[in-house]
Amino acid sequence: EPEVTQTPSHQVTQMGQEVILRCVPISNHLYFYWYRQILGQKVEFLVSFYNNEISEKSEIFDDQFSVERPDGSNFTLKIRSTKLEDSAMYFCASSEQLGLSYNEQFFGPGTRLTVL
Amino acid sequence: QKEVEQNSGPLSVPEGAIASLNCTYSDRGSQSFFWYRQYSGKSPELIMFIYSNGDKEDGRFTAQLNKASQYVSLLIRDSQPSDSATYLCAFYTGGFKTIFGAGTRLFVKA
């Protein structure tokens, strides 16, 4: 069964460093998303991406964040200068279509980011 | 601010009982509603979606939607210990964004 994959599973970095989180969405999916979940808190939407551009982003997704689809398979989230509060689980998701009333997203296993 | 409200729990039910999980949402424009299951340390897994008023059944799961009351629920029949997890209610507004609730922890006692 096709699945979303994410690497690495755990990333430890120093405050102020840049990190790139990688995702391989399901191959025939066209819509891609990043979410984060701080330990013990809710899943929060960061950004959605379609047709090589950002479709929507949340207030969390400020200038230190960027997303890219560098080739036909990978979808990346870059955090330029990490802060302690960026420590969280980051989930990538993808969906096949964006109908008027239905949007089933499939989640990857997540990358746990720890900022020291 | 579009919000989803859920009782954080824990909701504890004996094995074989019906577990009832509830959720309210603030955005009347919401079009689709989802129930995800999340085991500790794992990613959310979609178990049900509903976008029409009424009930939708899938195996042991029944989702109920009442758009007038802005209320969605999930019933789990014949609850099993393996159903013990956090259940996330989410809604999709028709844009490119899904809003999640904080989740209800369910514990099924063997």
- Please report residues of B whose CB lies closer than 8 A to that of A104: 34, 46, 49
B75 has a chain A CB within 8 A of its CB: no
pLDDT score for B95: 66
Mind listing the pLDDT tens digit for each residue in A70-90? Answer: 887 899 999 999 999 999 999
Closest CA to B77 of B96, B57, B101, B103: B57
User: Looking at this protein, which amino acid is placed at residue A83?
Assistant: K
Who's near B50: CB < 8 A, 6+ residues apart? B32, B33, B56, B63, B64, B65, B72
CB–CB contact A102 B98 (8 Å): no
pLDDT score for B29: 76
pLDDT score for B72: 94
The two three-digit tokens of residue A72, written as one number: 């036909």
pLDDT score for B28: 76
Closest CA to A29 of A92, A97, A107: A97
Q: Distance, in angstroms, between A27 CA and closest chain B CA?
A: 19
Residue of B nearest to A47 (CA): B97
B8 has a chain A CB within 8 A of its CB: no
Kindly state the average pLDDT of the residues B98-110.
Answer: 94
Between strands B104-109 and B11-14, the pairing is parallel
The two three-digit tokens of residue B18, written as one number: 């019906």
Task: Tell me how far apart the alpha carbons of residues B88 and B63 are, in angstroms, rounded to a whole number.
Answer: 13
User: How many CB atoms sit inside 10 A of residue A114's CB?
Assistant: 13
Task: Tell me how far apart the alpha carbons of residues B14 and A102 are, in angstroms, rounded to a whole number.
Answer: 34
Mutate to test the interface with A, among B51, B96, B97, B104 (most CBs of A within 10 A): B96
A1 has a chain B CB within 8 A of its CB: no
What mean pLDDT is reported for chain A? 92
Kindly state the average pLDDT of the residues A101-108.
Answer: 78
- Please report residues of B whose CB lies closer than 8 A to that of A44: 100
Length in residues, chain A: 116
Query: Picking from A63-67, A96-100, B6-10, which range would have the lowest pLDDT averaged per residue?
Result: A96-100
Mind listing the pLDDT tens digit for each residue in B43-61? Answer: 999 998 898 889 999 999 9
What is the interface size between A and B, counted as CB pairs within 8 Å?
A: 59
Task: Tell me how far apart the alpha carbons of residues A115 and A7 are, in angstroms, rounded to a whole number.
Answer: 17
Choose the closest CB to A101 out of B51, B99, B100.
B51
pLDDT score for A3: 93
pLDDT score for B98: 85
pLDDT score for A99: 55
- Please report residues of A whose CB lies closer than 8 A to that of B95: 55-56
